[in-house]
Structure 1
Amino acid sequence: MSAYSSFAVVGGGAIGLPIVNALVARNVSVVLLSRPGGSAKIVPSGVQVAKVEYTDAAAVAAVFKAHNVDVVLSTITTMAAAAQKSLVEAARLAAVKLFVPSEYGMPTEGHTEGILGDKSRIAADLKAAGIPSTRFYVGMFTDDVPWLVGHSEHGKITVVGKGEVPVSFTAVADITGFVAHVLTTLPRSELENRVFRLEGDRASMNDLGVLFNSPVEHVDRITGEAGDLKTLLLAIINTGAGSTGWDEATKAKGSGIEAAGSANALWPGHQWKTIKDVHGL
């Protein structure tokens, strides 16, 4: 049984609110931190919403202390990952027992540049502060595939690069359910300073053409709304880093507990959703 009973989720977006719901279903105490002026959040009964500026470490720490928070889960967006530094300081001030940084994507260990480098540095900051951490690598959100490759806009699979390397895909419902499951069932010793590598499905970007019965178009960059972000993500994927078993140091796939999907076994009996399942293909 987990040693943790009180959780704080920072950010109520696409991954934050589902995590709140999944934790509540496990009958634990949850407080949601949201920025002042942000949109109203619809949360389950019993969940308090604390409006606080994330960059104000003292104010955030006061919320953690007021709710006797054991575990902090940051879910702020990928492009703002570096802003977690103040959350780390708040966790230190409040003597939080475990910090789950906003990973929920490709493996970040060994990266020094860009958004993956920002995430890797947060893990280093947690270690320097003496705060145990738990990191979840999930690859790409299965739910976001049509958005990422432009299928929802023009019915084609638009790929940067050759699109031949395998990519891990995990559904949001599987991610959030797994996070809540392990944080409320595993003992402290199996959570502290651990990395969990999930994988609901595995396919290359070219394989998506077959799955969606759509043509695949190879381009140098994505244009339009969020084009720069999509281009960046697809370029990283093209290196092989889209697999949750990727080892940036060796530029190769890991094995054993470092293999893609190795953590799936910690949720026995669960049926992981495939790309076909999520999109009704």
Structure 2
Amino acid sequence: MSIYKSFAVVGAGNIGLPILNALAAKNVAVILLSRPGSAAKTVPSGVEVIQVDPSNATAVAAIFKEHKVDVVLTMTPGTVPEAQRPVVDAAKLAGVKLFVPSEYGLANEGAEGVLGGKNKIAAYLKSVGIPATRIYTGLFTEYIPWLVDYPNGGKVKVIGKGEQPVSFTSVSDIVGFVAHILTTLPPSELEDRTLRLEGDRSSVSGLATHFNTSVEYVDTIAGEGGDIKVLLQNAMATGAGSSGWDGANGREGTGSNAAGSGNALWPGHKWQSIKEVLKL
């Protein structure tokens, strides 16, 4: 049985707000830390929204102490992982029991560059002695049409060959999983663990069969976010699209490090397929 009773969610975007809602539905204490001046968020009754500069570790620590926060979940965009560092400092000052850093994406242990930035936060958490739970999900299933630029032309646009296996997990499955494990599992199953989820699995080029369309091999993807799509597809081409990818050794993990191995922590749950999520 979980000993965690009080949670702080830092940031409430596409994944943060649903996780906050799911935790609140478990009848545990939840607060939301939001930047001053950010847009108002609609949250469940009983959830207090506190505006604070997340780079001010002293101010954030005071909030954590006041609310006796056991678990901190950060929802910082993957492009700015270092923004989590002051929140880690605040968690240390406040005696937080568990930290769930912003991951929810491609496996990045052993990676460098953009993906490797999150490793620095994991290393920092370890250096200051805060237990952490990292959660790899692959790409959000809902983002598949965006990734392959399907709305623009009705084809699956692929950078390179697109043959490596990729993990895809729906937002609703991720949200439910996070709320479940944090409110039911003991610390021994969460502290300093990397949990690897997978709702479904496909190569990027193989996604064409789901859409009943053809593949268009391209060097670039035009339009807003095109550079990010290329970056992600290039990362997937290395194998890192699989939630079980072992970047340090350049191979798929096995056992508790295999893609989807973390699914077992939510027994009885039916994970959604690509076709189910996208209604194909």
Which TM-score band applies after superposition, normalised by the shorter structure? over 0.9
Alignment correspondent of 1:195? 194
SS of the equivalent of 1:115 reads: helix
Alignment correspondent of 1:32? 32
Which residue identity lines up with residue 277 of structure 1 in the other structure?
E
Task: For 1:212 and 1:33, locate their aligned partners in 2 and report how far apart those are by CA, in whole Å.
Answer: 39
1:141-180 alignment runs, 5 A limit: 141-180=140-179
Measured against aligned partners, the alpha-carbon deviations of 1:155-184 in whole angstroms (never above 9, x if no partner) come to: 221111101111000000000100110111
Which residue identity lines up with residue 266 of structure 1 in the other structure?
L
Measured against aligned partners, the alpha-carbon deviations of 1:127-174 in whole angstroms (never above 9, x if no partner) come to: 001100001000000011111111123322111110111100000000
Task: For 2:114 and 2:59, locate their aligned partners in 1 and report how far apart those are by CA, in whole Å.
Answer: 26
Alignment correspondent of 2:253? 254
1:25-64 alignment runs, 5 A limit: 25-64=25-64
Task: For 2:94 and 2:222, locate their aligned partners in 1 and report how far apart those are by CA, in whole Å.
Answer: 44
Alignment correspondent of 1:278? 277
Task: For 2:156 and 2:65, locate their aligned partners in 1 and report how far apart those are by CA, in whole Å.
Answer: 48
Alignment correspondent of 2:109? 109
- Segments ≥4 residues shifted beyond 3 Å: none
Alignment correspondent of 2:266? 267
Task: For 1:211 and 1:59, locate their aligned partners in 2 and report how far apart those are by CA, in whole Å.
Answer: 49
Which residue identity lines up with residue 237 of structure 2 in the other structure?
N
**TM-score computed with the length of structure 2 as normaliser:** 0.98
Task: For 1:154 and 1:116, locate their aligned partners in 2 and report how far apart those are by CA, in whole Å.
Answer: 30
SS of the equivalent of 1:167 reads: strand
Alignment correspondent of 1:89? 89
Q: CA deviation at 1:227?
A: 1.4
Task: For 2:270 and 2:166, locate their aligned partners in 1 and report how far apart those are by CA, in whole Å.
Answer: 19
Alignment correspondent of 1:184? 183
* Structure 1, unpaired ranges of 5+: none
Alignment correspondent of 2:23? 23
Task: For 1:217 and 1:149, locate their aligned partners in 2 and report how far apart those are by CA, in whole Å.
Answer: 9
Q: 1:261 to 1:38 in 2, by over 3 A?
A: same
Q: CA deviation at 1:223?
A: 2.1
Q: CA deviation at 1:94?
A: 1.0
Which residue identity lines up with residue 73 of structure 1 in the other structure?
L
Task: For 2:211 and 2:61, locate their aligned partners in 1 and report how far apart those are by CA, in whole Å.
Answer: 46
Greater shift, 239-248 or 54-63, is seen at 54-63
Identity over aligned residues, as a percent? Answer: 61
Greater shift, 180-189 or 222-231, is seen at 222-231
Greater shift, 214-223 or 98-107, is seen at 214-223
Alignment correspondent of 1:216? 215
Q: CA deviation at 1:192?
A: 0.5
Task: For 2:254 and 2:164, locate their aligned partners in 1 and report how far apart those are by CA, in whole Å.
Answer: 17
Measured against aligned partners, the alpha-carbon deviations of 1:64-85 in whole angstroms (never above 9, x if no partner) come to: 1121100000111111212111
Q: CA deviation at 1:93?
A: 1.1
**TM-score computed with the length of structure 1 as normaliser:** 0.97
Task: For 2:187 and 2:32, locate their aligned partners in 1 and report how far apart those are by CA, in whole Å.
Answer: 22
| RMSD (Å), alpha carbons | 0.9
SS of the equivalent of 2:36 reads: coil
Q: 1:46 to 1:120 in 2, by over 3 A?
A: same
Task: For 2:58 and 2:217, locate their aligned partners in 1 and report how far apart those are by CA, in whole Å.
Answer: 48
* Structure 2, unpaired ranges of 5+: none
